[in-house]
Amino acid sequence: MLADLVAPLSAPDFLAQYWNRAFHAWPGQAGRFAALIGWDEINHVLTTQRLEPPRLILVKGGKNVATERFVHASGNNRRINAGAVTAQLAQGATLVLSFVDEMVPRIGVLADRLGEELGARCNINLYAGWRADNGFDLHWDRHDVFILQVAGRKHWRVHRPTRDFATRGEEAPPLPKDDVPVFDGILEEGAILYIPRGWWHVATPVEEPSLHLTVALAPPSGQDYLRWLVGKALADPLFRADWPVAAGEAATTEYWRELGAAMQTLHAAHPPADFLAAQQAERVARPRFALPEFATGTLPRLTDDSRLRLASARALAPVHDPASGGFGLWVGERFQTCSEAVGAVLGRLSSGSDMRFAALADGLDAAARRELAAAVVRLAAAGAIFVDLDA
């Protein structure tokens, strides 16, 4: 999917030249994204789903339209007012549907594939405008984005960042008034923009129906790793102890020496592979059900041809537990021990595609294969794995 989006650039060239570092624009082909979503499907979503802020918002001139102006409330019952929404849009408001990837399966597939390829959390928002008022003012995002112009046209202006890799909880210096944009033009139907994190941009409709998708991608950062490592540090009493300031300089120096050694040990015990696996495992999978069968509590017989798929996580995180010296998997909030070989194999399972048990067990000896089968049964009983989901 990434290769499709960035062509004629190759995916490796895009990653080397632009990803996380530079803006790029691709010209459009009319109808290129029509299969993702269209006006009829948007009408269906608005009609059948119980939407209200923050999932659905209207924005005009850089400000959110007050909820009470388009949401009808009667006691605890709240529904969007179709007439009021339409009137606001006719007056220049932009319609924003957040997490439209959770509403339209095809867009969910796009989000999952791009997120997997780029090692990033991914969600997709929809923006629809009709007049010539910008929804949001000139701003920068705390994540990288692809802009997919699905229908109509829209004017975009993009400026370089005023702070490299600006992140959550901080502000970037304002854009100089005389700053020259790197892009200032009309995005035609089927065109794409890639805007890295921190780059300033503003989009304005051009007096015609316009629809675009914003693919938001947030890879983990060094700060994310440090936060994760802090959680691991709590297991060591040294990190929980008070700094011995009152005991004098010698005590402080000794504590600092011990702390530095403990930090090196902590870092060595929790390498990048463990962190990235944990990040992947924390991403909740899109719900998928196979009722009534799987609610009966009866597990299908496990054979070489049994198809396995994760039920509620994007990946299982096989990790070494320094506290016990063992190996295992995080399944939700529970840690299940297993051998390193079986943990590595289970880490290959995905919520996005099926894998036959024989393919999963390939290369394991007889004992490890029996352990894998038992682990699959336990994980299926716990609701972490589906077996023969479509059988």
Report phi then psi at 280, rounded to 5: -65, -40
**How many CB atoms are located within 10 Å of the residue 204 CB?**
18
Report phi then psi at 386, rounded to 5: -95, 140
For the chain, domain boundaries? 2-218, 222-270, 280-387
**What residues of the chain score a pLDDT lower than 70?**
288-300, 312-314, 321-325, 332-333, 389-391
CA dihedral 280, 284, 290, 294 (to 10 degrees): 80
Per-residue confidence (pLDDT) for residue 298, from 0 to 100: 63
The C-alpha atoms of residue 359 and residue 357 are separated, in whole angstroms, by 5
The C-alpha atoms of residue 328 and residue 281 are separated, in whole angstroms, by 13
The C-alpha atoms of residue 216 and residue 214 are separated, in whole angstroms, by 6
Joined together, the tokens standing for residue 67 give 């909820």
Joined together, the tokens standing for residue 57 give 């918002």
Token look-up 């070989």 returns 341
Tell me how far CA of residue 216 lies from CA of 144, 186, 339, in angstroms.
6, 21, 37
**pLDDT tens digit string along 169-193?**
788 889 998 999 999 999 999 999 9
Per-residue confidence (pLDDT) for residue 299, from 0 to 100: 62
Per-residue confidence (pLDDT) for residue 279, from 0 to 100: 81
Q: Is residue 349 within 8 Å of residue 355, measured between CB atoms? A: yes
Per-residue confidence (pLDDT) for residue 333, from 0 to 100: 66
**pLDDT tens digit string along 49-64?**
888 889 999 999 889 9
CA nearest to 262, candidates 291, 288, 232: 232
Q: What architecture is domain 2-218?
A: Sandwich (2.60)
| CB proximity list for 245: less than 8 A, separation 6 or greater | 252
